[in-house]
Structures are given as C-alpha cells and as structure tokens.
C-alpha cells in the first residue's frame, strides 16, 4: 500500500510551483473557506485537529495561535520561519522549492486566525537562494491572480450595472415612445370624432 502524502502531496506534479497547477488541485480553497469563518473558530478547528509544528518541539499549532493576545493596542505580525535550522529537518526547503503556494495559503489562514497585520514576513536564509526566487515568483502569481480576479469581478459587476441601466433607459424610452404614440393616436381619434360630428 502506497503511503498517503499530505504535506508533500503536490511536489511530484509537473510544474508544481505554478499557481494554475495548485488551484487545479484544490489550492486556496481552504483559505477561501477560512476567510468565511470567525478567527476563533479557525483556531479551535486547528486545536481539534491536533496539528503540531514539524520542528523539534512538535508544539501544538492551535495552542500557539491561541497565545496571541486579542485586541492588543500593539500591531501583530506573522513571521514564517523558513530558516530550517533544526538538525535533520528538510521539509521547509522542499515545500518552498516544490510547492510554494501551500506555504502562502497557510500564511493567509494563520494571519487571519491570529489577527495579524496585513504585512507578513518570511524569514529565509541566504543559502536558500533558489527557494527564495521560487517564493518570490509564487507571491507575484498569487497577488496578480487575486488582483486580476478582483478586477474581473468588478468588470462583471460594472457590465451588469450598465446592462441594467441600459434596460431601464430602454424601458423609459419605450414607455415615453408608447405614450407619445398613444397621444398621437388619441389626438387623431379625437380629430376624426370632431370632424365627423362637425359635418352636417
């Protein structure tokens, strides 16, 4: 029986770093679902899952998120530690180089759950130059795709409003034209009636 891959499920796919490949495999659906939930509900869901950090301590992820102060007057920032300095661990580099959008989606969910400032950070060591370039491209893809979809949605809304406005205008014009046509017909009919009644 082949092992079930969860964290590394996408790394063997052709062009696995592409956002199109990631989305085709269900990528960013979890973030979409999370953004429709309350932050506390996400943290509780992560606690219930018993998800743990994959460093040396194996600390419960939901517990760590729960420690972040709520409604603090000070800003909260999310920092992704991609240094991978624990002995014998290689998952960070592999994910960054093969499945960078998984990392980005995880940061979106974590940042929303803890109430982070929109600006988040990825700490990456200088030796991971290739991974850094892959991440930069993935971030650009995610931002461009989000922007283009947002623009497309606005364009669809604008087009719908224009069609609705055009239909209303057409209705007004048709109504006025019908009204003028009715008045002309009424005037003609009245003229014929007056003409007929005025004849001896």
- Ramachandran angles phi, psi of 192, nearest 5°: -65, -40
Of 176 and 129, the structure prediction assigns the larger pLDDT to 129
Q: What is the mean pLDDT of residues 44-73?
A: 88
> Which of the two residues, 110 and 4, has the higher pLDDT score?
110
- 102 CB-contact burial (10 Å; exposed 0-12 / middle 13-18 / buried 19+): buried
- How many Cα atoms occupy the beta-carbon half-sphere of 81 within 13 Å? 6
Q: Give the C-alpha separation, 136 to 78, whole Å.
A: 17
pLDDT digits (tens, 9 = 90+) for 171-181: 544 554 555 54
Instruction: Give the whole-angstrom CA distance, residue 134 versus residue 52.
Output: 26
The CA distance from 6 to 54, in Å, is 13
Can you tell me the distance from the alpha carbon of 12 to that of 97, in angstroms, rounded to the nearest whole number? 11
Q: What domains does the chain contain, in order, with CATH numbers?
A: 19-157 (3.40.50.11540)
């Amino acid at each position: 029986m082949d092992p079930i891959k969860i964290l590394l499920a996408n790394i063997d796919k052709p062009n696995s770093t592409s956002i199109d490949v990631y989305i085709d495999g269900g990528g960013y659906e979890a973030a979409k679902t999370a953004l429709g939930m309350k932050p506390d509900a996400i943290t509780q869901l992560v606690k219930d899952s018993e998800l743990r950090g994959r460093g040396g301590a194996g600390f419960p992820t939901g517990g760590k998120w729960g420690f972040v102060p709520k409604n603090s007057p000070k800003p909260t920032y999310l920092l992704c530690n991609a240094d991978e300095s624990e002995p014998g661990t290689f998952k960070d580099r592999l994910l960054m180089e093969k499945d960078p959008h998984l990392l980005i989606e995880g940061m979106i969910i974590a940042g929303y759950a803890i109430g982070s400032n929109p600006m988040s950070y990825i700490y990456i060591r200088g030796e991971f130059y290739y991974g850094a370039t892959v991440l930069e491209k993935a971030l650009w893809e995610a931002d461009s795709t989000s922007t283009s979809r947002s623009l497309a949605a606005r364009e669809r809304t604008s087009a719908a409003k224009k069609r609705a406005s055009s239909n209303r205008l057409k209705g007004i014009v048709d109504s006025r034209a019908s009204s003028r046509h009715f008045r002309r017909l009424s005037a003609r009919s009245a003229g014929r009636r007056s003409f007929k009644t005025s004849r001896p």
